[in-house]
Amino acid sequence: MKIIFLTFFIVINYIQAASLEEIKTA
């Protein structure tokens, strides 16, 4: 169960980082 939560947390961080990069370049 913890591994699923950790994976979900990493995915959310990755999406947020990608969104931040898009905002910076735009």
What is the pLDDT at residue 26?
65
**What is the Cβ-side half-sphere exposure of residue 3, based on CA atoms within 13 angstroms?**
0
| Helix runs in the chain, H state only | 2-25
Q: What is the pTM of this model?
A: 0.58
What secondary structure letter does DSSP report for 24? H
What is the pLDDT at residue 21?
82
Question: Could you give the angle at the alpha carbon of 11 between the alpha carbons of 23 and 7, nearest 5°?
Answer: 165
Distance CA 8, CA 16 (A): 12
What is the pLDDT at residue 10?
97
Taking only the tens place, the pLDDT of each residue in 1-26 is: 799 999 999 999 999 999 988 877 76
Residue bearing tokens 């905002």: 23
